[in-house]
Every structure is written in C-alpha cells, then in structure tokens.
Chains A and B, each alone.
Chain A
Amino acid sequence: MTDISPTPAAMPRTHGLSGSLLTESPLMKSRNAAEARFRSYGIAAIVVALLTLAIMLFTILRDGTSAFFQATLSYPVLIDGAIVDKGGKADPAEMAKVTTISYARLLGDSLIKHLADKGIAVEGMTPKEVTDMISKDAPARLRDQVLADPSLVGKTINVNAFVGGRIDGYMKGRLTRESSANDSNVTPRQLDMADKMIEAGILRSKFNWSFVTAPDASDLRPEAAGLGVALIGTLYMMFLVLIFTLPIGVAASIYLEEFAPKNWFTDLIEVNISNLAAVPSIVFGILGLAIFINFAGLPASAPLVGALVITLMTLPTIIIATRASIRAVPPSIRDAALGVGASKMQTVFHHVLPLAMPGILTGTILGLASAIGETGPLLLIGMVAFVTNYPAGPLDGGFLDPASALPVQVYSWASRSDPAFIERSSGAIIVLLILLVIMNVSAILLRRRFERRW
C-alpha cells in the first residue's frame, strides 16, 4: 500500500492472451457457445409460454364465442288485450295477475299463425311440437316487456324469442340428427322445422347481450342463463376488496418499512406475512366461514363476506408488493428530505410515497387481478348458490344480498349436465379474461402516468 508501484516495463509479463485477435481462442469459443446455448434456452422457454397461451386462448375462444350468440325467433305477435289485460283498464296491478302461462300461449299461437301465413309446415308435426321450440324463458321476457309498457296492449309487436337450447345447439353444430335420435327433448320434425325457419328468415343467430346481463337460469333453459348476477357480484367484491386492502396494506407497509423498529417481533411479523401469502386460498374460505358467517352472523353468499375473505387473502401480497416499492425509493431522497428538516412523516408522505405510488398501484391491481379469479374460498362461503335475483344497488344494502362471482359461475356451469352450459362456461371465462385484461392494462397505464425519474 505504501510502496510505489513498479513501472509497467519493470513488471515481467507472466500471463495474458497471446496470439492473433483474428482467430478465436479455445476458451473464447466455449464461452461463446455457452452464451449461445443460454440464449436458445431462453427463446425456447418463451416459445413454450407463448404456445401455451395461444392454445389456451384458442380453445376458450373456439368454445366460448358461440355463447355470445343465440338462435332467436323473430315474428310478429299481437298483444291481445283479451289475454293480458282482461279488465281492459291498463291497471298494472291487475295485469300482473296474468301469469307466464297465458303469455306462453300467446307466443305459441302467434308462431303457429305466422308459420301458417308463410306456408311453412312439416308433415306430421303437432302444434305442441311447434310451441315447444320456443324457449321457456321467452314468455317471462314478453310479460316483463308488456308490464313495463302497458301501451303495447292491442298492438302487434315484433318479438325476438330464443328457441330452446336443443335447436340452438343444432344450429351451432353441437347437436346432430344422429345424436338427437335418443334425445327426448327434441324431435326430428322440430329439426326439419328449424331448417325451414332458417330458410324463411324467421330463425336467426343473433348477438346475445343477455348472456352478460341476465341472471343465471335453471337446467331447463340454458339458453336464458346469463352472467349478470355473477358480474355484479364480482364487481361489488372487487370494489370492496380495493377499499379494504389499499388503506390497510399501504398503512401496514409504510409502518413496517419506515417506522417499525427492527427487532425479533417485527421479524416475526415479516415471516408471518410471507407465510400468509403462501396459505392456500381454501383455508381462508374456511376461516371466513367460521368467523364472518358462523361467528359474526353475516349472511352467506354475500359479496361483503366474499370481499372480506379475499381481502384477508390479498393483503399479504399487497403488503409485500408495497414494501418492495417503498424499499425501491432511493435512500438519497430520504436523506435529502431529512437533511432540510422534514419530519419522518413528511419525508414519507411528501417524497417516498409519491415515488412508490406506481409500484403500489401496480402491486395492488395485480393482487386484485389474481383475487378476481379466486374460486375456492367463495365456494365455502356459499357464493356458488343458484341466484336469479340481482343484488340491490350498493347503497341499498346490495353488498349483503346473495350474489355469485364469475369464477364460481364458470365452475358451476361447467359441472351442469346440459352441454349448452359448457359453451356458456367458456363464454364466462372470456368475460373474466376481458376483465383481467382491463385491470392489467390499467395497471400499466397508471404506472406510466405516475412514473417519475430521479
């Protein structure tokens, strides 16, 4: 250290690279080969990942897109006052007494009449076979439409009524004449009739918004089943989860990262947070069932309970992400703020937090995105129930009304017997994926928006 180093000339050249630069030395060759090998592993890994993604998307889109289209009958119906409004006073209370059975008759008779007018007939087909083609859901929709607008009485309106799931399946290729031979729900004559109706333009495949908006429906009418309740349930839950996790997660992270003393107790907390993040979600479901439903007495199937369970599950992830982004703020910024006499709290809130914000938001949204697909704990707290009524608005106690959730809906449709539910299950996955993409894109946008350089 204190010696004066010898001049280069005095130092004998004992080792080093010799030979021409134009030829590759053997060591260099193997170093380059190692690099080339590593690159090819990386490319192979990415190709495998992309291929898996492509196959997954392809299967889901292939099976699921048809769920957004539904075979629909369009024909004129005379809303006969003699049937739907016997009193003739247009009194809603009076009209509400008319059941869907009357409307079913109205729809059926109108269809038969329309077919007769058009001269479409299939030999040996009974009127009942014709009316059975109409979905059991159609009368209820027509009744709702008329009750909502009593002025329709006496007019002839053009009705769009779903056909039954079997005919829909026949049009989508799910059901063939061979496979329907043993099916008691459909007759060959109905299929003949469907072919003729398509030809005449009465039966068409139409985009079906009600798949996204309508509530779930029973096995008898898969064509009417929709995602409405599940979608609302999921949105309610995510809203509540966001409200619960963000303040708790951020406060906990800031305290642990900036204020808490470093001792065995905070170490213990840290280990526990990491452990909680790794606990299987079904365990949180059991916890939620025991605490929120059995002990606290909150209603089962409610988005609030689902949100509380998912909050417990997501919090560790969010705390870990938030702490990482707080730690990533360069210490020089803290020094700068403390150096001009900012208090600890001012340092954190004026400088550290704004800089950590993009990371916190991305972490939170990614946490929510993984929570949105969570099924296990929701099954345990009863969100798998068959719910056909929309929950009320958020301000009217809707958070406590029974609801379902998208992933649970996927699960419950996939386990039903009617094959028509399989396409709806895939369709629900598409909606879920769209939600996920929206969340992830907003995470990226927020990151860009808040990102600052230092």
Chain B
Amino acid sequence: MYDTPNSTEASVSQTHIKIAARGVQVHYGEKHALKDVDVDILDKTVTAFIGPSGCGKSTFLRCLNRMNDTVSVARVSGEILLDGEDIYDKRVDPVQLRAKVGMVFQKPNPFPKSIYDNVAYGPRIHGLTKSKAELDEIVETSLKKAALWNEVKDRLQETGTGLSGGQQQRLCIARAVATAPEVLLMDEPCSALDPIATAQVEELIDELRSTFSVVIVTHSMQQAARVSQKTAFFHLGNLVEYDATQTIFTNPKDPRTESYITGRIG
C-alpha cells in the first residue's frame, strides 16, 4: 500500500507519504481516546484534522511528536512511521524526534525571553550552528518565513511576551521553523487570534507548505477548507473519513461527516 521512501531524497512529490499511522490507539487511563486510526500524511501538503471537541484530533496530533509521553496516564499503541521509521521504537529518543517534528500550540507560548532568544533557542540546543553569524542568519530567515521579520527586526532584544497575540503566535511558528523540522504540527494555532492575525497565519501556513508537511488541527471548517489539501474528520475517537479537502466538503461519503460540516452535530 505504501513503500518506504528515502528520507534524504531532495525532491519529493506531493504524493510522497511522510507519516504513516497504522492502528493507532490511545488510552487516557480508562478512557479510550483514539480508536484504531490509519492515516497517511503526505509531504509538502497541509493536512487538516477537524471534528467536534473531544473527538481525539489533538490527541492524535500529539502522538505524531510523542508529546503524549509527558502525560503519565496516556498509553499509545499501534504504529506511526516517519519516513518508514517507527517513532515509538524503543531506540527513538522523543527529544530527537521533536527536532524533526515541530509543534505550534493553541495558545501562543513564547518563552519570557527576547525575541532573538526565542527563535535561537532550538538551533542552540540542537547545535545547528557554529557561529553567531550563522545563528543570526537562521533567526532572520525563520522570522522572515513566519512573516514577522519586518515588524520585529529593530527590536530583537525585546521580550517576546511583549508582542501582540498574533505576533506571538507567528513568533512561535518562527521558533518551530528555526530547528528546520520536516513536519510542522499546529494545534488550533488561530483559536486565540483575531481575524486579521488569523488571515496572516493562514497565509503563512500556505507558504510553509513548500518546505514542510503541515498538520493542522482546527475547529473552524472554513479554515480547514481554506488552507488544507487533505482533511481528516474525527468523531468520538474514530477517524471517520480522510480524503482530499475538496471531496470532504463537497461530497462526503460518511453521513457523520456530512452532519458535521453542515453544522448538525458538534
């Protein structure tokens, strides 16, 4: 059904499978939060996870970079392959995995440090640079990618928490981008932002697609329709339907999907 790709390959087509999940189950203590999820996430594509609250979409997202490891009661079973390598293998260090699979959270959470240090933190701890000039360069390109450079270039030493909500979220995106991840996970990145900031971040997501595989969890179906190429609909811990965004929103196969996108459940 899918073959193991070579991760070092420079030019990958849009059909290249970046993450393959097979039979993923998640339990939070007694609660069965995610039931038997199979998904292929493509490279250079924006994949949106939609569904009502508590449906397991964020849970699944957090499985992809093993952030669920920090929740002591969470148990994950099944198989998630990143470029053909099982990320739940005993030999995999989640810390190393998270450098490859970056994450942006629901609430903007910049470190209470300077804007520069926020962006430079990832490259520093992963030893990506050898000199200050190289680091400066990474900070600048990351901030440019996050469309924040022009607003903050004169005040890089000011604290990141002093920025507006939308700027903070873009700073968080720049911070995630700076470690040069291969996949970028976004957990409702716009839910705390106003419409203008949301539009900026959405535009940004579309640009980021050229470099990464982007997975976004969202509550807004319009947003999913606007930014994504593939959409997965989750309901009560099940992956109900996964298809091209166009198909999901115009011609859903499952009645539950149709109910949700027409606003009758959720």
Contacts and interface: CB of A to CB of B under 8 A. Distances in A.
A342 B125 contact: yes
A346 interface: yes
A452 B265 contact: no
B121 A340 contact: yes
B110 A336 contact: yes
Interface string B108-145: 01111000000001100110000000000000000000
Given A262-B72, A340-B121, A1 B265 contact: yes
Interface stretch (B12-20, B76-84, B91-99, B208-216): B91-99
B232 to A, nearest CB: 21
Contacts of B72: 261-262
A202 to B, nearest CB: 66
Contacts of B102: 339-341
A343 B122 contact: no
A258 to B, nearest CB: 10
Contacts of B70: 334-335, 338
Given A340-B102, A340-B121, A335 B95 contact: no
A330 B111 CA distance: 11
Given A336-B110, A452-B112, A454-B112, A342 B67 contact: no
Contacts of B65: 339
B45 to A, nearest CB: 21
Given A346-B125, A351-B111, A336 B105 contact: yes
A351 B176 CA distance: 16
Interface in B10-48: none
Given A340-B122, A453-B161, A335 B265 contact: no
Interface residues of B, number: 32
A332 interface: yes
Most buried by A among B96, B107, B125, B161: B125
A212 to B, nearest CB: 43
A92 to B, nearest CB: 62
A333 B125 CA distance: 16
Interface residues of A, number: 24
Given A1-B265, A454-B112, A339 B125 contact: no
Given A2-B265, A332-B105, A355-B112, A341 B161 contact: no
Contacts of B122: 340-341
A350 B124 CA distance: 12
A430 interface: no
Interface of A: 1-2, 261-262, 330, 332-343, 346, 350-351, 355, 452-454
Interface of B: 65, 67, 70, 72, 95-99, 102-105, 107, 109-112, 121-122, 125-126, 159, 161, 172, 175-176, 178-179, 259, 264-265
15 contacts: A332-B105, A334-B70, A336-B111, A338-B98, A339-B176, A340-B125, A340-B176, A340-B179, A341-B95, A341-B96, A341-B97, A342-B121, A346-B125, A350-B125, A452-B112
